[in-house]
């Protein structure tokens, strides 16, 4: 449990109405699953983040930075630390020429729509990704042949000491579903995208085509965290899972989607343990049948 002294200190950095104790995380993840976080902070600006990060580091209090919770499975027992939410209260977009500066809490959908409005191409792939700009940069989010590494020019971050840094594309060390932010102790506050002029009608048509493809191929009617596993080299996780005969495989309320076997969905009030059990069973079966080690793409918090 977070001590009263820690909560009192945090109240000196963040408005009291933005601090919640024992906050159920099911309301903050796209899986709609998760026990309570000891302390949940909604941050409003970079200055608050700097002060809170510096304090938590000095006090040795564990914390996790949350965006839209679209790639996250929180334990049923919750998280014994502080959740720092960078969401709507830290969102906003500014456009200058072919550059879009988006605060970290801005949704990727909003960023893609802004690009459309200003006739800028390059972000169409992000128009259906249910995450934030900050979270998307951390994991180098991508879809349908596009990814963040292709359009990010600069990333503004706060480091472990509460200091602001600017990282360019090369410094970000983008890789498949990873970046220098992962494990680097950085928290993203703003991202600058460098795009290209395009035809609005063509950009809109591309976004609508991708939306149609998502609706037809992905189980959007169920809560999930998107693709559960990273793409194994030379193959596709969903294809291997399907060929292993696991389409529709279910434990408790968690199920391998029949529509897209790369998705594990919350079909019937699943618990986090249900999802974890399905993930474990899928990994074992695929390894036994194809000698391929599937690596989860989602983050396990509180396990």
Give the closest residue to 108 by CA, choosing from 154, 75, 139.
Answer: 139
Instruction: Spell out the SS3 assignment of 87-112.
Output: CHHHCCEEEECCEEEEECCCEHHHHH
Q: Kindly name the residue from 23, 46, 190, 297 that is annotated as catalytic.
A: 297
What's the CA gap between 104 and 52, in Å, rounded? 17
* Gap between the Cα atoms of 183 and 173, Å rounded: 12
Cα dihedral 11, 15, 16, 17, rounded to 10, equals: -160
- Which one of the listed residues 107, 179, 227, 257 is annotated catalytic? 227
- The continuous run of DSSP H or E covering 165 comes out as strand 164-168
Active site residue 161: no
The enclosing H or E element of 238 equals: helix 237-243
Q: How far apart are CA 15 and CA 11, in angstroms?
A: 6
Give me the residue label for tokens 């564990």: 62
- Known catalytic membership, residue 156: no
As a whole number of angstroms, the distance between CA 273 and CA 35 comes to 11
Q: Residue 167: which residues within 8 A CB-CB, separation 6 or more?
A: 154, 155, 156, 157, 180, 186
Total residues found in the chain within this entry: 303
Catalytic residue list contains 227: yes
Instruction: Locate 52 and state its tokens.
Output: 């809170």
Burial of 16 (C-beta count, 10 Å sphere; 0-12/13-18/19+): exposed
Alpha-carbon gap, residue 294 to 134, rounded angstroms: 26
Catalytic residue among 53, 156, 177, 206: 177
Catalytic residue numbers, as ranges: 177, 227, 297
């Amino acid at each position: 449990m977070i001590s009263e002294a820690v909560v009192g200190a945090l109240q000196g950095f963040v408005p009291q109405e933005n601090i919640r104790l024992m906050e159920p995380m099911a309301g903050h993840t796209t899986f709609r699953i998760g026990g309570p976080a000891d302390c949940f902070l909604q941050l409003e600006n970079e200055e608050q983040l700097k002060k809170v990060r510096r304090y938590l580091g000095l006090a040795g209090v564990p914390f996790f930075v949350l965006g839209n919770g679209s790639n996250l499975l929180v334990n049923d027992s919750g998280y014994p630390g502080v959740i720092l939410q960078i969401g709507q209260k830290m969102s906003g977009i500014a456009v200058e020429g072919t550059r879009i500066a988006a605060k970290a809490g801005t949704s990727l959908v909003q960023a893609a729509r802004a690009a459309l409005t200003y006739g800028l191409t390059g972000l169409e792939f992000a128009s259906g990704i249910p995450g934030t700009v900050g979270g998307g940069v951390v994991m180098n989010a991508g879809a349908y042949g596009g990814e963040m590494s292709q359009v990010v020019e600069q990333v503004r971050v706060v480091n472990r000491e509460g200091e602001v840094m600017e990282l360019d594309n090369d410094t970000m060390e983008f890789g498949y579903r990873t970046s220098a932010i992962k494990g680097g102790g950085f928290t993203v506050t703003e991202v600058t995208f460098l795009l290209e002029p395009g035809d609005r009608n063509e950009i809109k048509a591309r976004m609508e085509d991708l939306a149609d493809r998502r609706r037809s191929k992905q189980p959007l009617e169920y809560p999930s965290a998107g693709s559960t596993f990273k793409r194994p080299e030379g193959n596709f996780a969903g294809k291997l899972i399907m060929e292993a005969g696991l389409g529709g495989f279910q434990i408790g309320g968690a199920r391998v989607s029949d529509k897209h076997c790369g998705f594990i969905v919350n079909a019937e009030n699943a618990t986090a343990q249900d999802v974890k059990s399905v993930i474990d069973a899928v990994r074992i079966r695929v390894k036994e049948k194809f000698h391929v080690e599937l690596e989860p793409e989602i983050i396990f918090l509180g396990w």
